[in-house]
Amino acid sequence: MVNFILIGIILLIVIFLAFKMNAFRTKLAYLFIIMGVFFLLLTGYIIFSGKQINLTTVDGISSALKTYVSWLGTAGSNIVKVGGYAVKQDWKEKGNETS
3-state helix vs strand vs coil in the chain, percent to 5: 75, 0, 25
d(CA 81, CA 51): 28
Does 11 or 74 have the greater pLDDT score? 74
pTM for this one?
0.54
CA 68 to chain centre: 12
6-10, 17-21, 38-42 — which is least confidently predicted? 17-21
CB 18 within 8 A of CB 27: yes
pLDDT digits (tens, 9 = 90+) for 50-65: 778 777 888 888 888 8
Q: What pLDDT shows up at residue 79? A: 93
